[in-house]
Each structure stands twice: as structure tokens, then as C-alpha cells.
């Protein structure tokens, strides 16, 4: 496991919640549902599998916890919306001057939901669990995904060693690409071959956070972007992309980026369900039918889909 610790830097937040081992009780699930917006509750209720519903629920709770605790907005005054490209954001904050320079992002896949947040920096985060392709061989899977990586990246992936190690390196590269795409908020239309990662170190160690990997955009090294990499456990890669702030007050970006790069990289803190909902204020009345619908869901499909879907 990562060396989980208490975060002491108020400008950086790294939280993780282990959805895979969360078996919510009736009271937990109904309370969680009361603490998110009605449209979010409805959307989560439509998931076919319990695994997806739990991950999505954790992601929404992580965002509300961040906004409540770090931005000082009461839980029941928080309104979350999505950009046209699907990136969540805080809509109509009560005090723009105090919260406008916070950037945050969530990701959920495998057994974890994660959140990364910073002040005065763009943030994107992605988590990915290394797993065998659900419906093809590794060779066929790589062939399907060929256009998502550059020749340099494929060389690094295929040179990693046995098939499983190659898959692990593949998922590491994938989290890096996704974290950048999520940070800039462009969605699926971005050509992933425009960004190329030169990963370092070649082997990640649990309990350590690395900032050594470099990104090249259109063949030029991007010095204004930092990528944090970490293993939540042996199978889960996390990448956090951090770039200069481009929102209101963007003139603060240079100083913030320099100060950030001089700080030790923060590690992820593992939250329990009680941590996740501490300070939560219910927004709606209890809906017993929501639990009945959830408990009838199958946990997950018999064969998990691959990240190309």
C-alpha cells in the first residue's frame, strides 16, 4: 500500500477512497444519497452495476467534502455542474474571491475513487487498475490501442518485460495521458499522439511519489507541467497532472508553480466512509426505494471492459 498520511499542506489535497471493499449498509447508502444533488442521485441510480454506482457516489462525495472543508462553503450550499466536456466544477460559488483559484478533479476505476486539488494550478487526476483485457489477448489489445500512443511510448511499453509488466506500463502511460486531458478539459476530441511521455523511474515503488516523468507536446518538452505518479497498491497507478493556472488571477501562476515544485510531493490519504461524509448535511429526504434498487444490482459484469471502450 501507499504510505498513507495526514495532509498538512492546505494548498494540496490528495484523497482516495477504496470503493472495491466498500459494502454499504442500508443506512450508509441512503445517507450518502441524501448528501448529493437530486440529479446526481438519479444518474447514479441508473447504473446497472453496484461497482459503478459506488464509485460514482464516492466521487461526488469527495468533491463536496473538498469544497466544504477547504473552500468554506456549507455542504447544503454547494452546487456542482459540468462543463460542456463533462468536467465537474463549482457553479456560482458564494464567495468567488476565496474559491476561484481552487482546481480539483476526480477519477474512479478499479477499486478506488481519487481526488486531487490545488490552489492556483490546473489539476487533472486519473487512476487505473492493471488487469488483463476482458475480451482479447494482450497482443490484440495493444493492436486496438496502437493509435493512442507514440512510437517512443510503445517502445517503453513493450520493453517493460513479460506481458503483465507490459500491461502495467501501458496503464501507467494511460493514466498520464488521461490526467493531462482532464486537466485541460478538452474531452475526447484531443489527439493523444500530440502528447508523449518519457517515464522515469521505469519501476514505481509503493509508498513513493515521483515527479520525474516528462511530457512532450507536439515534440517539445513542456516545462510548465508537472506529473506526480504513485501506486495506491501493486495494481493501481495514479497520475496527477499539474499546470499553470489559466483562470481568474492567472498572473499568480508563475509564483505558484515555482513554489509548488519546491515542495515535497503530497501522498494520498486513504479515507473511510465516515471520513467521506464527516460534516455532510443532507439535501433531500430519505428514499427507501433507492436502497431497494441498489441492493438488487449485480456487483460487476463478469468480464470488465478495457480502457479503450
Residue 308 has pLDDT above 60, yes or no: no
- Other residues' Cβ atoms within 10 Å of the Cβ of residue 148: 18
Most confident of the ranges 78-87, 97-106, 247-256, 285-294:
285-294
The helix or strand, by DSSP H or E, that contains position 92, with its residue range, turns out to be: none
User: Using one digit for the tens of pLDDT, what is the confidence trace for 171-209?
Assistant: 999 999 999 999 998 876 788 999 999 999 999 999 899
- Mean pLDDT, rounded, for 17-32: 97
CB 232 within 8 A of CB 225: no
Percent of the chain with pLDDT over 70: 86
286, three cell numbers: 430519505
Gap between the Cα atoms of 84 and 88, Å rounded: 10
Q: pLDDT class for 124, splitting at 50, 70, 90?
A: very high
Residue 8 has pLDDT above 50, yes or no: no
Radius of gyration of the chain (CA): 19
Residue 301 has pLDDT above 50, yes or no: yes
- Mean pLDDT, rounded, for 3-17: 64
Tell me the C-alpha to C-alpha distance, in Å, between residue 89 and each of 11, 117, 146, 185, 246: 18, 12, 32, 11, 15
- Other residues' Cβ atoms within 10 Å of the Cβ of residue 72: 11
**Taking the domain 12-295, which CATH number applies?**
3.90.470.20
pLDDT at 6: 34
Task: Work out the angle at residue 72's Cα, subtended by the Cα atoms of residues 70 and 73, and round it to the nearest 5 degrees.
Answer: 120
282, three cell numbers: 443532507
Residue 165 main-chain phi, psi, to 5 deg? -65, -35
Question: Can you give the residue ranges of every domain in the chain?
Answer: 12-295
Residue 132 has pLDDT above 80, yes or no: yes
Gap between the Cα atoms of 204 and 229, Å rounded: 8
- Mean pLDDT, rounded, for 245-264: 60
pLDDT at 185: 86
The helix or strand, by DSSP H or E, that contains position 162, with its residue range, turns out to be: none
For residue 269, the 8-state DSSP code is: E
Gap between the Cα atoms of 116 and 276, Å rounded: 15
SS3 state at 296: coil
pLDDT at 155: 98
Gap between the Cα atoms of 196 and 227, Å rounded: 13
Using CB atoms within 10 Å of the CB of residue 96, give its burial: 0 to 12 exposed, 13 to 18 middle, 19+ buried.
exposed
**Of residues 261 and 164, more confidently modeled:** 164
For residue 217, the 8-state DSSP code is: E
Amino acid at each position: 500500500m501507499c504510505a498513507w498520511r495526514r495532509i498538512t499542506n492546505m494548498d494540496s489535497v490528495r484523497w482516495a477512497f477504496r470503493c472495491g471493499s466498500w459494502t454499504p449498509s442500508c443506512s450508509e447508502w441512503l445517507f450518502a444519497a441524501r448528501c448529493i444533488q437530486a440529479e446526481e442521485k438519479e444518474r447514479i441510480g441508473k447504473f446497472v452495476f453496484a461497482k459503478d454506482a459506488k464509485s460514482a457516489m464516492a466521487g461526488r462525495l469527495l468533491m463536496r467534502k473538498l469544497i466544504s472543508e477547504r473552500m468554506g462553503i456549507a455542504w447544503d450550499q454547494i452546487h456542482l455542474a459540468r462543463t460542456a466536456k463533462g468536467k465537474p466544477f463549482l457553479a456560482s460559488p458564494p464567495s468567488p474571491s476565496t474559491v476561484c483559484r481552487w482546481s480539483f478533479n476526480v477519477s474512479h476505476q478499479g477499486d478506488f475513487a481519487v481526488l486531487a486539488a490545488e490552489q492556483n494550478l490546473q489539476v487533472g487526476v486519473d487512476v487505473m487498475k492493471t488487469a488483463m483485457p476482458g475480451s482479447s489477448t494482450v497482443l490484440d489489445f495493444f493492436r486496438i490501442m496502437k493509435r493512442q500512443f507514440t512510437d517512443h511510448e510503445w517502445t517503453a511499453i513493450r520493453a517493460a518485460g513479460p506481458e503483465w509488466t507490459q500491461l502495467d506500463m501501458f496503464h501507467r502511460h494511460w493514466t498520464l495521458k488521461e490526467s493531462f486531458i482532464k486537466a485541460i478539459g478538452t474531452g475526447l476530441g484531443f489527439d493523444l499522439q500530440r502528447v508523449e511521455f518519457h517515464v522515469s523511474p521505469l519501476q514505481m515503488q509503493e509508498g513513493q511519489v515521483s515527479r520525474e516523468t516528462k511530457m512532450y507536446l507536439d515534440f517539445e518538452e513542456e516545462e510548465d507541467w508537472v506529473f506526480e505518479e504513485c501506486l495506491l497498491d501493486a495494481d493501481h497507478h495514479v497520475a496527477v497532472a499539474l499546470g499553470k493556472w489559466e483562470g481568474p488571477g492567472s498572473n499568480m501562476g508563475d509564483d505558484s508553480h515555482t513554489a509548488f515544485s519546491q515542495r515535497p510531493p503530497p501522498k494520498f490519504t486513504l479515507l473511510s466512509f465516515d471520513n467521506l461524509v464527516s460534516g455532510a448535511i443532507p439535501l433531500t429526504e430519505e428514499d427507501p426505494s433507492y436502497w431497494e434498487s441498489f441492493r438488487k444490482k449485480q456487483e460487476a459484469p463478469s468480464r470488465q471492459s478495457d480502457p479503450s471502450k
